[in-house]
Amino acid sequence: MANLIQFSSSLKNLCFKSICRCLSTNSTPELPPCDYIPEKYKTKLSRFEIEQIHRINLNPCLTTCYKRPVFLTQGHMQYVWDDSGRRYLDMFGGILTTSIGHCHPRLVEKIQHQSTKIWHTSSLYLTEEIHEFAIKLANHFPEPLRCVFVCNSGSEANDIAITMSRLYTGSFDIIALRNGYHGSTLSTMPLCSIGVWKFPMPTSFGFHYASCPDPYRGRVGGRFCRDSLIQTNRHCDCIDADHCQAADYYIEDLQTMMDSCLPKKIAAMFAESIQGVGGVVQYPKQYIKRAYELVKQRNGLMVMDEVQTGFGRTGTNFWEFQSHGILPDIVTMAKGIGNGFPMAAVITTAEIAQTLTLGSYFNTFGGNPLASAIGSTVLDVIDENNLQLRSHNLGNKLLKKLAQIRDDYNGEIVGDVRGKGLMIGVEMMYQGKPMPKEQMNEIIEDCKDMGLIVGRGGPQANVFRIAPPMCINDDDIDFTVETIRRSIEKYCDRQANKK
């Protein structure tokens, strides 16, 4: 009770400060200027008709965001427009997918050209496009990762990785991390360890789950543990930043799980380089490297999921696994690979890739000429515009500004700010626990009403996920921060009025 009274008093003081700030500044942040003029939306279907079709003809699992869903009709670079012509800053990038920008002019030109040249043929025939894309993609990886298989989605890429790892090692058991997400097909669902993505059917035979090594919410961790510009303000038992005791703890947990649950040989361990759907969770320093060593002791392969972290988004490296100091056996990727076009890929060594010749394996659409031309152009734009460095610089600026909001509220509302480059998580708290969904919804709704689109994640859906197209600018960063700050001020006001 005493803690509750103290929190209530602190919250009222914070709300008073926020009200004072609002009175001295514009209550609604202004979107940065944009020279692009969208076409006026011409109604084919009314909003009422669309909502009826959505309710009747689309699977009910396809839920939408917001009380009144946003009806998007057009996009250009980092901005999208709704049916009324209102503009929004997209800081979620179509769930970390729009890597270089909505309807990027270079990509539009390439698609138009390719669609008049050859639209589709399967890999049964030689085409220039898939070979150009394959060598460009392979050249972004260290040796011996040179053999590419192009497919359509991250789930499919991880399915292929499961197949190859079991065939190559001759073993069946696979390790995954709790709080991880690797797809929602029947074969990849067992890799996921977030309850809301599970269906009540037997899928997990042969899969084993290690504790999520989360320095903020996990059993162990603190302010010296992450490879991040912004550290958690949680007390840390580490003596210094050179040796992480949290990594010791979680590696010991992994070792115990292996010794008690696994045979002497395993097929693989899967890990996202940074957990995405799980709430942008970064691991303690050296955890992945040391886990890799344990996996190798059991003859297993290390599979790194770069579906959300790849293509320069995290800033310091083109692939975030490079920050962990390992060379994976298999890397899976999707989302940003095609800037929204449905494509994905798996890269591995020639020896491991050979396993897929033990039986017939084929993909009708994977690497067709149109998809390959798009993938090549995305790589060109990232490289030519140095979007990796841009992600690093703008991400650092955004992280610092968001951390200031956390500190302004003493970590009581904004509990943690984390991430690298333009893959950022902001964990929201209430009375020392994850912020309830209805309160989080109100904040997300306020952001949308002010013109900002952000995502959400984490097991309790209490984490802002911020991962925009990598073409954003400094003004977009400032607008994002001020909009989030204003939405939190509104939240504080509502909470104070309830007392």
Interval 171-181: pLDDT, tens: 999 999 999 99
Q: Provide the pLDDT for residue 40.
A: 87
DSSP H helices in 25-153 = 47-57, 93-96, 105-115, 128-138
Mean of all residue pLDDT scores within the chain: 92
Which position has the token pair 């980092």?
Answer: 78
Q: Which amino acid is at 462?
A: N
| Side-chain half-sphere CA neighbours of 126 within 13 A | 1
* Segment 400-408 long-range contacts (CB within 8 Å, at least 24 positions apart): 400/229, 400/230, 401/477, 401/478, 401/481, 402/230, 402/426, 402/481, 402/484, 403/230, 405/481, 405/484, 405/485, 405/488, 406/233, 407/233, 408/14, 408/17
**Cα torsion angle, 189, 417, 482, 491, sign:** positive
CA distance 94 to 470: 12
Interval 185-203: pLDDT, tens: 999 999 999 888 888 888 8
Give residues with Cβ within 8 angstroms of 79, minimum separation 6: 34, 36, 87, 88, 89, 90, 102
- Least confident residue range of 22-26, 41-45, 281-285, 384-388: 22-26
Q: Which two tokens stand for residue 251?
A: 């590696």
Cα angle 467-308-96, degrees, rounded to a multiple of 5 = 35
Interval 295-314: pLDDT, tens: 999 999 999 999 999 999 99
Set out the domains of the chain in order of their start, with CATH numbers: 14-85+387-498 (3.90.1150.10), 108-384 (3.40.640.10)
Is the CB of residue 348 less than 8 Å from the CB of residue 164?
yes
Q: Which two tokens stand for residue 306?
A: 């770069």
Give residues with Cβ within 8 angstroms of 282, minimum separation 6: 215, 226, 227, 228, 274, 275, 418, 419, 420
Q: Which amino acid is at 18?
A: S
Q: What share of the chain is helix, strand, coil (3-state, %, to 5)?
A: 40, 15, 45
Q: pTM for the full model? A: 0.93
Interval 204-229: pLDDT, tens: 899 999 999 999 999 999 888 998 89
CA distance 167 to 352: 9
Q: Which two tokens stand for residue 220?
A: 């162990």
DSSP β-bridge partners for residue 208: 175
CA distance 87 to 89: 7
